[in-house]
Structure 1
Amino acid sequence: MQTQYQFNCGKYQLNLSRPHVMGIVNVTPDSFSDGGKYTSTDLAVAHGLELIAQGADILDIGGESTRPGAEPVSLDEELRRVIPVIEALSAVSTVPLSIDTYKPEVMRQAIFAGVDIVNDIRALQEKHAVEIVANSNAGVCLMHMQGMPQTMQLAPSYQDVVAEVKQFLIERMQVVMSAGIAKERIVLDPGFGFGKTTAHNIALIQHLGEIGELGPLLVGLSRKSVLGKIAGGDEQQRLHAGLAASVISAMKGAKIVRVHDVKATVDALKVVTAVLPA
């Protein structure tokens, strides 16, 4: 039996009785997989609309790469990249828009520009981030990360990665709910590849069902290095491994999968939906 959830985000209420696909719109020159492909507003908007046509349930717009070793982007530059894309897409999108950022001021301006979800690798730990989201009707994704992108993959270490990720997510949920963000506005992300070795990532996949008892899970494994270490190939050669990861994650209860390859993932998850018990 699959746990049923509703995700209230902005003007949308998503019924998570089936797995949803979050399509990635990177407005960055240096993201690990598609950096530099959609750096202009027109290209990013066109890409977003194409992902919706392919079946994306959510669009996740990002203006700063968080790949291992990535250099931080200034607030002004991140706003310059993402706000015009959000404004343009919010006027035509038929699906919720998400902003991938940890900066509170980007969250504030993105919500004003029309995003429905804040997807934060820092789980609203930056000063004023909780208040900004609480004072809106946006949904939020709280992600676990050990360290920061510049150094997180140098020497990840855990006594028990599953227990520690769960405890962090529990603590962050308690903080944001005490600030007035309803549980129905929260999804959780174990943070694959964010301060984790291959063994840590595999352990988290194996225990997704246990982590998912906390609330609806968002899983982001698309084209990540852990897939390359398992199956081989560079970022552009990880489609099949990524599909396997999305299918396994959905079978283990993940409610949202964040991917680059939308059409192939949508088709694969239709099969999952057809065979999972209602």
Structure 2
Amino acid sequence: MGREASSIFLPDLIAPVRRIGRRTFDFNRQVAIMAIVNRTPNSFHDRGRTFALDQAVEAALRAVEDGADWLDVGGLAFRHDQDEIGVGEEIGRVVPVIERIRAKTDAVISVDTHRAEVARAAFAAGADVLNDTNGLRGPGVCVAVAEAGAHAVVTHSIGGPGKLVARPAYGDVVAEVAEFLRDRARFAVENGIPADHIVIDPGHDLNKNTYHSLELTRRLGEICAIGYPTLVAVSNKDFIGETLDLPKDRRLEGTIAANVACVLQGARIVRVHDVPGAVMAVRMTEAMLGWREPASPRHNL
């Protein structure tokens, strides 16, 4: 006889039914697909393929057609080995994309930035969410979100975007990430962002090595138990490539496996490059959890 173990965790969520932008989600029974739209010349996976404005807009609208619920627009990569760009240049990258896709879709739009000035400009252009890989540590960031009535994704990282963290070390990576997220969520609430406008992200691979990211994936339920809807951004990341010894363009199956494992432990938003594959995997997972009816069942007697 084998050991009995539950592989499914259903977290008690703070405000599971949420109106984010123009769409409503029930995170007790639904997983949102967030499509990545990088308007950067040096993104680790896209390698600048959507840096041109028309290509970025086209990619965003195609993602919605493919089933994405959410579009995450970024103008500055997280990586440390890049030239700094000014606030004006970052705004010039993200705002035109947001304006054009906002006119075409009711999908949720987030801006991936850690700067308050960029966030304000993005909200004015039609963005609904700040996706902050700096954990809301930048000056004025919480005020910008609160004033706009926007949502915020609070992500764990040690150094934040553009900062080199050599050989990151943790005693217990899951416990330390969880404590950081609790602390930053408390900070957000204390600075005007309602609890029902907060999402958390453990930050796979952000100042973490492969073993850290695997441990976060294996014990993601401990992060989801904090109570805020949890976003995971594992798509094509190096912990998948190093685990499977695969280059960036051959990590789709590993990405799908990691996303499904995270959903079964409570993740409710998945940030992805490949939308069709993620949609099929997530919809199947929802059906197996009893949240979604089969699309065309045949009742053969």
TM-score normalised by the chain length of structure 1? 0.96
Match of 1:6 in 2: 17
Tell me, yes or no, if the aligned pair for 2:23 and 2:106 is still in contact at 8 Å: no
| Deviation sequence 1:27-61 (CA, Å, 0-9, x none) | 11100110221122211111100000010010000
- In structure 1, which of residues 175, 184, 191 is the aligned counterpart of residue 196 of structure 2? 184
- In structure 1, which of residues 86, 92, 96 is the aligned counterpart of residue 98 of structure 2? 86
| Deviation sequence 1:156-204 (CA, Å, 0-9, x none) | 0111111111111111111111122111111100000111111111111
For the structure 1 residues 96 and 233, does the alpha-carbon distance in structure 2 shift closer, same or farther, using more than 3 Å as the test? same
Tell me, yes or no, if the aligned pair for 2:79 and 2:163 is still in contact at 8 Å: no
For the structure 1 residues 184 and 174, does the alpha-carbon distance in structure 2 shift closer, same or farther, using more than 3 Å as the test? same
Tell me, yes or no, if the aligned pair for 1:6 and 1:184 is still in contact at 8 Å: no
Once the two structures are TM-superposed, the CA of residue 19 in structure 1 deviates from its matched residue by: 1.3
Structure 1 Cα separation of the partners of residues 60 and 248 of structure 2: 20
Tell me, yes or no, if the aligned pair for 1:152 and 1:194 is still in contact at 8 Å: no
- In structure 1, which of residues 187, 194, 217 is the aligned counterpart of residue 230 of structure 2? 217
- In structure 2, which of residues 209, 213, 222 is the aligned counterpart of residue 201 of structure 1? 213
Give runs of aligned pairs for residues 1-278 of structure 1, distance below 5 A: 2-3=10-11, 5-16=16-27, 17-214=29-226, 215-278=228-291
Number of aligned residue pairs: 278
Structure 2 Cα separation of the partners of residues 172 and 96 of structure 1: 23
Once the two structures are TM-superposed, the CA of residue 140 in structure 1 deviates from its matched residue by: 0.7
Once the two structures are TM-superposed, the CA of residue 15 in structure 1 deviates from its matched residue by: 1.9
Give 3-state SS (helix, strand or coil) of 1:123's partner: coil
Once the two structures are TM-superposed, the CA of residue 104 in structure 1 deviates from its matched residue by: 0.7
The structure having more radius of gyration, on CA atoms, is 2
Tell me, yes or no, if the aligned pair for 1:156 and 1:197 is still in contact at 8 Å: yes
Cα RMSD after superposing both structures: 1.5
| Deviation sequence 1:101-132 (CA, Å, 0-9, x none) | 00110000000100011000012111110111
Once the two structures are TM-superposed, the CA of residue 224 in structure 1 deviates from its matched residue by: 0.5
Give 3-state SS (helix, strand or coil) of 1:7's partner: strand
Once the two structures are TM-superposed, the CA of residue 146 in structure 1 deviates from its matched residue by: 1.3
Structure 2 Cα separation of the partners of residues 106 and 80 of structure 1: 9
Give 3-state SS (helix, strand or coil) of 2:225's partner: helix
After alignment, is 207-216 or 9-18 more displaced?
A: 9-18
